[in-house]
Amino acid sequence: MGVPRFWRAIPNRYNLIGSRCTSCGNYYYPKRVVCPHCRRRSEMTSYTFAGEGKIETFTEVYVTSTEFEREVPYIIGIVKLDEGPSLTSQIVCDPEEIDIGTRVRAIFRRIGEDGDKGIIYYGTKFTPI
Ligand SMILES: [Zn+2]
């Protein structure tokens, strides 16, 4: 019983996992092996981000590769997580719903599909809270 093996095997795809340096307390996303601040003295541990933050900047994308054509227009933004790190991600909403400073939370959505193999990729996107 318990959690099916499939879910346990791929935690990185369904969680926002980065690193925390226990020496200085800084957070990093994506994961780092060495803290750029502490270097050799760094002690890194795995950290699962709460998944909330705010929009630092964003832009609407109207032209893209054929792979993402059906999603146009879409919004790409830089989200600063509450713990500190910033990341670039798609923001799922109407442009009128957001502004710089809008609070957002992480969601997990389909990013792309490999036509030949039928593999669907999932990843982190954000949506207004
Ligand atoms: Zn450090």
CA of 35 to the centre of ligand 1 (A): 5
Band (pLDDT 50/70/90 cuts) for residue 32 is very high
43-57, 59-73, 98-112: least confident range: 59-73
Average pLDDT, integer, range 81-110: 92
Please compute, for residue 41, the number of CA atoms within 13 A of its CA located in the half-sphere on the CB side.
5
The percentage of the chain sitting over the pLDDT mark of 70, rounded to a whole number, equals 75
Residue 48 pLDDT more than 90?
A: yes
Name all domains of the chain by residue range, CATH numbers in brackets: 1-48 (no CATH), 51-129 (2.40.50.840)
CA of 87 to the centre of ligand 1 (A): 19
Give every strand in the sheet of 27-28, ordered side by side.
Answer: 27-28, 17-21, 44-48
Nearest by Cα to 51 from 105, 98, 91: 105
**What pairs with residue 17 in β-bridges?**
48
Q: How far apart are CA 41 and CA 105, in angstroms?
A: 33
Q: Tell me whether residue 115 is exposed, middle or buried, using C-beta atoms within 10 angstroms of its C-beta: 0 to 12, 13 to 18, 19 or more.
A: exposed
Band (pLDDT 50/70/90 cuts) for residue 47 is very high
Residue 7 pLDDT more than 60?
A: no
Average pLDDT, integer, range 88-117: 84
Sign of CA dihedral 75, 29, 2, 7: positive
CA of 89 to the centre of ligand 1 (A): 25
CA of 12 to the centre of ligand 1 (A): 22
Average pLDDT, integer, range 17-31: 94
CA of 36 to the centre of ligand 1 (A): 7
